[in-house]
Amino acid sequence: MDENYTSRGVHGIRPTAPYNNRTGPEELTMKVAMCPVDTLALSNNVYIAPGQFNSQDHYIILNGEFVFTMRVDNTMQKGLIGTNAMQRRWAQFSLNQEVVATPYDPFSGGTDIYLATLKIETGFFRKSMQVSDDFDTEEMAKAFSLTFHNQIFTIGQPLVFEFQGIKLTCKISDLDVVELETLKAGSKNEAESHGSGRKATRGLLMHQTLIQFTKSADSTIRLKGAKRSSAAKPLIRADFKFEDLGIGGLDTEFSAIFRRAFASRIFPPSIVEKLGVQHVKGILLYGPPGTGKTLMARQIGKMLNAQEPKIVSGPEVLSKFVGQSEENVRKLFADAETEYKSKGEDSSLHIIIFDELDAICKQRGSRGDSTGVGDSVVNQLLAKMDGVEQLNNILIIGMTNRKDMIDEALLRPGRLEVHMEVGLPDEKGRAQILKIHTAKMRDNDILDNDVSLEELADMTKNYSGAEIAGVVKAASSYAFSRHIKVGTVAGVAPDVETMKVNMDDFMAALQEVPPAFGVSETELKQCVQNQVIPFAPHIEQILADGKLYVDQVRQSSRTPLVSVLLHGPAGSGKTALAATMAMESEFPFIKLISPETMVGLNETAKIAEINKVFNDSYKSPMSVIVIDSIERLLDWVPIGPRFSNAVLQALLVLLKRKPPKDRRLLILGTTTERSILEQMNMTDSFDSDIYVPTITNLEGVDIVLQQLELFTNQERERTLSILADSGADKRLAIGIKKLLMVIEMARQDADKIEKFVNTILALT
């Protein structure tokens, strides 16, 4: 054990003997005076004349409360005690005031008096002395230790410390003393001795004392260094549990946000300072509506030991008064600025959440009005986030469905630098969301035993979190409807206490609440009303090839984008085959781009609609897009001829654009004018093409007739015999669509055979 801690005290002073063998007075009444010379005022000592106390007395207590380090000065008169202005201010003494002075024995209460740590708040002594340089706290600690070594300090005590020619005010904010009993147990390591301190009100400064400087609340001093603070403030609440967030399906996104935005904030500032990096100031959450962006942003504030988040919707910032919109932005940052000026890096985290960010941060210069308000708001936000006076205690969270509309300057590093796509949940995420929204049903035994959340998670492909919540609400409404009194819409049946939400309720709810980013099931089924009839071997081959393309998109890592063009005569069944391939793929996202849905749209609107379908497809892991009747989408007509070059160029780009990482897309196009598309250089944009022929023999007609059961076997054989005798077999070339129309028309006639034969002969 280091003897400096025990028998010799500090620097050879023997602390026990003088006080046990006193010969001088125990108490004197003295008058408060100024220090003998100004230079001694910076020493933090009080001065007395020789011979008033024992030469071994080094510390003095005035009025039984204020302890100082005492020195003898030959220029002092007896009966006076020389003090500086800071000491008089602390003790509330005035000049010539009489005080009771008593020698102070720091060891009278035990040996735990040596300081382990000393925490000091500092600032400039005068405003005229302010400088913008950074003060190294390690160098300050060394200088402080040399200047005031062996002095006694009390919590709350002020003093003046001159460092590198600049006078600084210091205030003792906290201190710990060394527990010598702990040292006797065997710890000789200096770092360990610092860690074994206990709280006290005063202590003696020694060379081993760890001195920590922090910035005074009202000072502009800038501190840097490893010993500014030994630990970071705990950012995550101690009682926080992740399940408290109530967010499902966003584990990956939340982990990424924590790594990028919060990881640096849980480390001590000294470590972050050594790295030379600043904290992330902004996060942009973007993605489809209803995926949990706003929920995630709101819940983040609950897990942090930060100021209450300020949540503002983009349109709320805007005002009709000149300059008021910019003022609204400045008010959001006012609290953070005030605290950062007073506490610097020790200030708490301020979170500002902007919902619907695209409403106020559109690309500058893109607005049609002449007010310039939108541009001014963007400029004001940029200045506050990363302007001349940078704040390191803010975190901006912006949310939007339209990342493409946000001004680019706002998205660069130093501003909203973390871009996190909050996409549609996967099966595991959907199961989490279902568990969250059915938790009370399960806790209160209202969810029936036949409800399988895992099965529902599998059935809700491409559902967003909000849509899954809608399914749960719809299912509960079906359960309510079973317990309404017959003959009334306002009465409740007596058996309502036994109400259960069962699987049938959820199945009905799934039909009632379809996903926005799902399968165009209604439109696709309309394309295949009579199913695909394999009237020839090549039909089955086409479907088999289609399955191969689907498997290629699903399994191959080298071809995330596959496009196939189905071409052939009108009515040959191209759309039906493409729709069948799409539905049999069972991909979560299947959309049909058809001319029928774009009637009345101009070129710009048509391009926007097509582009939207492609962008939506990128939000799903696997997607199929069916582009029906491409030549009609291009407005192509043989008279003229004319076509829409703008739509053509848009399609050429979209057909070749690779989907994002981990996204796969199958494009199925149909056309009756392959030669025209070839002239437009569009066929080269497809990876493969499939020819879909018409029915060219009576065997194909026979198969279709058997499938649709228009005739009896005898009637069918007679019909085919008449067609063969008339030579129709040699001239036959009819599309399946036209043949189905003829069959249904003949079904309505009294003489079905004659009507069918005459119509077929007329077509050949």
Instruction: Please check whether residue 589 is in contact with residue 579, taking contact to mean a CB–CB distance below 8 angstroms.
Output: no
pLDDT computed for residue 1 by the predictor: 37
Rounded CA separation 334/332 (Å): 6
pLDDT band at 366 (very low <50, low <70, confident <90, very high): low
Rounded CA separation 678/684 (Å): 8
pLDDT band at 710 (very low <50, low <70, confident <90, very high): confident
pLDDT computed for residue 4 by the predictor: 40
pLDDT computed for residue 428 by the predictor: 85
Provide mean pLDDT across the span 454-479.
Answer: 88
Q: Which domain does 538 fall in, by range?
A: 521-691
Residue 681 shares a structural domain with residue 534: yes
Q: What's the token pair of residue 721?
A: 């015999």
Residue 531 shares a structural domain with residue 670: yes
In 3-state terms, what secondary structure has residue 68? strand
Residue 572 shares a structural domain with residue 705: no
Q: How far is CA 151 from CA 30, 88, 203, 494, in A?
A: 22, 17, 8, 84
Residue 495 shares a structural domain with residue 564: no
Taking every pair of C-alpha atoms in the chain, what is the biggest distance, in angstroms?
A: 147
Q: Is there a domain that residue 250 lies in?
A: no
Q: Is there a domain that residue 340 lies in?
A: yes
In 3-state terms, what secondary structure has residue 178? strand
**Secondary structure (DSSP) of 409-475:** GGGSTTSS-EEEE-----HHHHHHHHHHHTHHHHHTT-B-TT--HHHHHHH-TT--HHHHHHHHHHH
**Region of residue 150 (left: phi > 0; alpha: psi -120 to 50; beta: else):** left
Question: Of the given ranges (117-121, 488-492, 715-719), which has the lowest mean pLDDT?
Answer: 488-492
Question: Of the given ranges (4-13, 101-110, 113-122, 540-549), which has the lowest mean pLDDT?
Answer: 4-13
Rounded CA separation 647/371 (Å): 34
Dihedral of the CA atoms 745, 749, 752, 754 (nearest 10)?
-100
The 10s digit of each residue's pLDDT in 194-210 is 445 677 888 899 888 89
pTM: 0.61
The 10s digit of each residue's pLDDT in 613-643 is 998 888 888 899 999 999 999 999 888 888 9
Q: Are strands 394-400 and 350-355 parallel, antiparallel or unpaired?
A: parallel
The 10s digit of each residue's pLDDT in 106-135 is 877 665 688 889 999 999 988 777 887 788
Instruction: Please check whether residue 166 is in contact with residue 76, taking contact to mean a CB–CB distance below 8 angstroms.
Output: no
Residue 597 shares a structural domain with residue 656: yes
Of 472, 495, 512, which closes a domain? 512
Residue 280 shares a structural domain with residue 173: no
- Comparing CA positions, the residue from 285, 212, 269 lying closest to residue 235 is 269
Amino acid symbol at 397: I
Q: Is there a domain that residue 309 lies in?
A: yes
pLDDT at position 586 over 90 = no
Question: Of the given ranges (5-19, 269-283, 419-433), which has the lowest mean pLDDT?
Answer: 5-19
Rounded CA separation 141/250 (Å): 47
pLDDT computed for residue 653 by the predictor: 94
Rounded CA separation 631/628 (Å): 9
Q: Which residue has the higher pLDDT, 244 or 161?
A: 161
Q: What's the token pair of residue 376?
A: 């001014």
Whole-number average pLDDT of the chain: 81
Provide mean pLDDT across the span 43-72.
Answer: 89
Q: Which residue has the higher pLDDT, 595 or 339?
A: 595
Instruction: Please check whether residue 461 is in contact with residue 424, taking contact to mean a CB–CB distance below 8 angstroms.
Output: no
Measured in residues, the chain has a length of 764
pLDDT computed for residue 2 by the predictor: 41
pLDDT at position 190 over 70 = no
Q: What's the token pair of residue 525?
A: 């089924």
| Helix/strand/coil (H/E/C) assignment for every residue in 131-157 | CCCEEEHHHHHHHHHHHCCCCEEECCC
Provide mean pLDDT across the span 166-181.
Answer: 85
Rounded CA separation 57/172 (Å): 24
pLDDT computed for residue 349 by the predictor: 81
Of 467, 494, 512, which closes a domain? 512
| Beta-carbon-side half-sphere exposure of residue 302 (alpha carbons within 13 Å) | 14
- Comparing CA positions, the residue from 582, 600, 574, 455 lying closest to residue 521 is 582
Q: Are strands 394-400 and 282-286 parallel, antiparallel or unpaired?
A: parallel
- Comparing CA positions, the residue from 670, 667, 763, 666 lying closest to residue 723 is 763
Kindly report the CATH number assigned to the domain that includes residue 80: 2.40.40.20
Residue 201 shares a structural domain with residue 328: no
pLDDT at position 528 over 80 = no
Provide mean pLDDT across the span 135-142.
Answer: 89
Q: Alpha helix locations (H) across 556-597?
A: 574-585
Q: What's the token pair of residue 91?
A: 């003790």
Provide mean pLDDT across the span 30-47.
Answer: 91
Residue 130 shares a structural domain with residue 216: yes
Dihedral of the CA atoms 746, 750, 753, 759 (nearest 10)?
-40
pLDDT at position 6 over 70 = no
Kindly report the CATH number assigned to the domain that includes residue 653: 3.40.50.300
Residue 665 shares a structural domain with residue 735: no
pLDDT computed for residue 164 by the predictor: 87
pLDDT at position 592 over 60 = yes
Count how many domains the chain has. Answer: 6
Residue 489 shares a structural domain with residue 443: yes
Instruction: Please check whether residue 15 is in contact with residue 9, taking contact to mean a CB–CB distance below 8 angstroms.
Output: yes
Q: Is there a domain that residue 81 lies in?
A: yes
Question: Of the given ranges (48-62, 149-163, 306-320), which has the lowest mean pLDDT?
Answer: 306-320
Provide mean pLDDT across the span 66-72.
Answer: 93
Residue 310 shares a structural domain with residue 408: yes
In 3-state terms, what secondary structure has residue 341? helix
Residue 126 shares a structural domain with residue 41: no
Q: Is there a domain that residue 189 lies in?
A: no
Distance separating the N- and C-terminal Cα atoms of the chain = 114
The 10s digit of each residue's pLDDT in 440-453 is 888 888 888 888 88
Q: Is there a domain that residue 188 lies in?
A: no
pLDDT computed for residue 424 by the predictor: 80
Instruction: Indicate the helix (H) or strand (E) that contains 550.
Output: helix 537-555
Of 420, 443, 475, which closes a domain? 420
Kindly report the CATH number assigned to the domain that includes residue 491: 1.10.8.60
Q: Is there a domain that residue 16 lies in?
A: no
pLDDT at position 714 over 90 = no
pLDDT at position 371 over 80 = no
pLDDT computed for residue 127 by the predictor: 79
Q: What's the token pair of residue 503?
A: 């699987």
pLDDT band at 19 (very low <50, low <70, confident <90, very high): very low
